[in-house]
Amino acid sequence: MITLKKLLLFTLPLSIFFSCTSDSDEVTIPIAIKKKKIIEVKHDNQPFYKFTYNTTGSISEIENYSNGIVSNVTKVEYTNGLESRRNIYNSKGTLFNYQTYTYTGKLISERSSFSIHPSTGQEVLTQVTRYTNDAGKPFNNIIGVEYYDGSGSLVSKTIVTYLDNNGSNKVEVHNAAGTKTNVTTTMRDNSIPWDKVLAPFIYQREHNIISVSNQDSAGSSTTGYTVDYTYDKDRYPLTAKYSLSNGTKYTYTFTWE
Q: Summarize the confidence of residues 73-94 as an average pLDDT.
A: 97
pTM of the predicted model as reported, rounded to 2 decimal places: 0.85
CA dist., res. 255 & res. 194, Å (int): 10
Domain limits for position 103:
4-256
Beta carbons of 61 and 44 less than 8 angstroms apart: no
Could you tell me if 37 and 52 are in contact, meaning their C-beta atoms sit under 8 angstroms apart? no
| Residue percentage of the chain with pLDDT more than 70 | 87
Say if residues 22 and 163 touch (Cβ distance below 8 Å). yes
- Phi, psi angle pair for 9, to nearest 5°: -70, -30
As a whole number of angstroms, the distance between CA 235 and CA 192 comes to 6
pLDDT tens-digit readout, 211-254: 999 999 887 789 999 999 999 999 999 999 999 999 999 999 99
Average pLDDT of the segment spanning 99-107: 96
The total domain count for the chain is 1
Q: Which amino acid makes up residue 155?
A: V
Instruction: Indicate which CATH number applies to the domain containing 140.
Output: 2.40.128.720
Average pLDDT, the chain: 90
